[in-house]
Amino acid sequence: MEAQYIPKEYLAILILLIFGVLFGVVTLYVGRFFRISRPYHEKLIAYESGNEPTEAPRMRFSIKFYLIAILFVIFDVESIYLYPWAITYDHLGFFALVEMFIFIFLLLVGYIYAWKKEVLQWEK
Amino acid sequence: MHVLIILIEILVLFAVIMLHVAYATYFERKIIGHMQVRMGPMRIGWHGLLQPIADGIKSFFKEDIVPEQADVVTFRAAPIICLTAMLTSLAVLPFAKGWVLANINIGLLFLFAMSSLSSYGVILAGWASNSKYTFLGGLRSMAQVISYEVAMGLSLVGVMMLSGTLNLTKIVEVQGGSFGGMYIFPQIIAFFVFFIAMLAETNRVPFDLPEAETELVSGYATEYSGMRYAIFFMAEYIGMMVMASIGTICFLGGWNGPFEVTIFPPFWFVVKVYAFMFVFIWIRATLPRYRYDQLMTIGWKLLIPLALGNIVLTGFIKAFTG
């Protein structure tokens, strides 16, 4: 039963995925024969308000982005972990509720730590 | 044979969605125009009705510029990643009873996965273009999307607790046809968090920092032109519709309405989605843009605690009222 169920529903998703990629590729490829193409050096340099680009564009960026990404991983895993608990909530009873509060509380400690360390503060 | 039916369904869905995307841009320009006491597009067709089609044809014939410094393969792949991720998320949306391409039982999770995937397109576009504006736009967009993804994911936990399923069709059915059954009432905090996160996820005003035109030209899409730019644009509008659909399904009772429209079952679904779209546009015409640090502060210090509090509150209320 399960083995029959999965391919049937997910087949539509797979086909839509392939369709989406093909739409993008085919539109851009077919367009190649219709659109004008007159490239020259000045047109092809990176846009910088009409000036020559000064330094390398892939510059060093703020460490905050990295910290936000780390925090995202923690909290996203948390929310994914909450999903199965949430959908079976009715069957689990009071014990699971308390357990989950302990789980949320532990994460809250980390959250407060991040707050106090001013990770969430973009400017001081 | 089965594949052929799916293919036809996909083609119809795609055509309908593309038409809606084209006319969503028209409505946006028209509504903002009227809100600012202008007329909006008027030249092509009656009251500019053919404007979106003219725009499509124009961008198709525009020159496609690939910058010299760009990482060509990634540069070309980025818009397609965005569009594909958004298109694929359409598969699980139930537009009416039985009007769904793939009725999978992890629908909501799938939608989150796809909306995260589309942020890859944005960050890759920003990186591959090898320009300062796109690089900063891509970085900002990534940080914004992942921050609000957490808030959005947590806000919908309340809905899952009430409905006990991730299947979008069942979420609608559990809410029932009545006005009071809509989850917006018991989950009003979640709806508030979801709505703000939705604006941020789709890069709409007041959170359109990735493409803040006064500081970053056009953000991650600065180096894109012609059809590639149009594909980014399509992906953005499909994204808006998908987010509006999630809001409709999880909080406003999906396709149920005050009375049944037998000729066209998704009637109320479409009405609710367009109500969301109108509010998006209304907000764009009304509010100024947030600063980046304010944006991150709202996401992490207001929305996430609110969403967590909502989970605890919902848990307690459910535990003690049964």
Pair B145, B201: CB distance under 8 Å: yes
Average pLDDT, chain B: 86
Distance from the B34 Cα atom to the nearest Cα atom in chain A, whole angstroms: 32
Give pLDDT, residue A1. Answer: 46
Label each residue of B270-297 as H, E or C: HHHHHHHHHHHHHHHHHCCCCCHHHHHH
Pair B263, A83: CB distance under 8 Å: no
User: Would an 8 Å CB–CB cutoff place B90 in contact with chain A?
Assistant: yes
Q: Are residues B128 and B11 in the same domain?
A: no
Between the two ends of chain A, the Cα-to-Cα distance in Å is 58
For A27, the closest of B160, B217, B227 (CB atoms) is B227
Residue B213, in any domain of the structure? yes
Residues 6+ apart with CB under 8 A from B152: B112, B193, B194, B197, B198, B201
Share of chain A above pLDDT 70, in %: 94
Residue B36, in any domain of the structure? yes
Distance from the A22 Cα atom to the nearest Cα atom in chain B, whole angstroms: 9
Q: Are residues B127 and B44 in the same domain?
A: no
The model's pLDDT over B167-226, given as tens digits with 9 standing for 90+, comes to 888 888 888 777 777 888 888 899 999 999 988 888 887 887 777 666 777 777 788 888
Q: Chain B contacts of A66, Cβ < 8 Å?
A: none
Structure tokens at B41: 């597009």
| 112-151 in chain B: CB under 8 A from chain A | 127, 129-136, 139, 142-143, 146-147, 149-150
For residue B71, what are the CA distances in angstroms to A44, A54, B129, B219?
13, 19, 7, 17
User: Would an 8 Å CB–CB cutoff place B57 in contact with chain A?
Assistant: no
Q: Are residues B121 and B262 in the same domain?
A: yes
Q: Chain A contacts of B164, Cβ < 8 Å?
A: 87-90
Q: Total structural domains in chain B?
A: 2
Q: Are residues B53 and B84 in the same domain?
A: no
Give pLDDT, residue B194. Answer: 92
Q: Are residues B96 and B147 in the same domain?
A: yes
Query: By CA distance, what is A88's nearest residue in B?
Result: B164
The model's pLDDT over B20-37, given as tens digits with 9 standing for 90+, comes to 988 898 989 999 999 989
In this prediction, residues B9-13 reach a mean pLDDT of: 88
Q: Which of B37, B61, B85 is where one domain is finished?
A: B61
Q: Chain A contacts of B64, Cβ < 8 Å?
A: 28, 31-32, 35, 37
Q: Are residues B244 and B271 in the same domain?
A: yes
The model's pLDDT over B39-55, given as tens digits with 9 standing for 90+, comes to 888 888 888 888 888 98
Distance from the A99 Cα atom to the nearest Cα atom in chain B, whole angstroms: 12
Distance from the A91 Cα atom to the nearest Cα atom in chain B, whole angstroms: 10
Residue B66, in any domain of the structure? no
Residues 6+ apart with CB under 8 A from A28: B64, B76, B227, B228, B231
Q: Are residues B293 and B266 in the same domain?
A: yes
The model's pLDDT over A96-115, given as tens digits with 9 standing for 90+, comes to 888 888 888 888 888 888 88
| Position B320 confidence tier, pLDDT thresholds 50, 70, 90 | confident
Q: Are residues B152 and B262 in the same domain?
A: yes
Give pLDDT, residue A4. Answer: 53
Residues of chain A falling short of pLDDT 50: 1
Q: Which of B61, B85, B100 is where one domain is finished?
A: B61
How far is B246 from B114, CA to CA, in rounded Å?
13
Q: Are residues B205 and B269 in the same domain?
A: yes
Q: Which of B11, B30, B61 is where one domain is finished?
A: B61
Q: Which domain holds residue B33?
A: 1-61
Interface test with chain A among B131, B215, B220, B224, by most A beta carbons within 10 Å: B131
Distance of CA B137 to the CA centre of its chain: 19
How far is B148 from B196, CA to CA, in rounded Å?
9
Q: Are residues B184 and B266 in the same domain?
A: yes
Pair A32, B227: CB distance under 8 Å: no
The conformation of residue B131, written as its DSSP 8-state character, comes to -
Q: Biggest alpha carbon distance in chain B?
A: 65
Pair A59, B132: CB distance under 8 Å: yes
Query: By CA distance, what is A95's nearest residue in B?
Result: B319
Structure tokens at A3: 């083995």
How far is B198 from B270, CA to CA, in rounded Å?
18
How would you class B51 by CB atoms within 10 Å of its CB: exposed for 0-12, middle for 13-18, buried for 19 or more? buried
Query: By CA distance, what is B136's nearest residue in A?
Result: A61
Q: Are residues B182 and B244 in the same domain?
A: yes
Q: Are residues B303 and B193 in the same domain?
A: yes
Q: At what angle do helices A2-31 and B2-35 cross, to 10 degrees?
A: 60
Short-list B213, B65, B210, B220, CA closest to B127: B220
In this prediction, residues B281-298 reach a mean pLDDT of: 85
Continuous segment of H or E residues that includes residue A115: helix A89-116
Q: Chain A contacts of B83, Cβ < 8 Å?
A: 20, 23-24
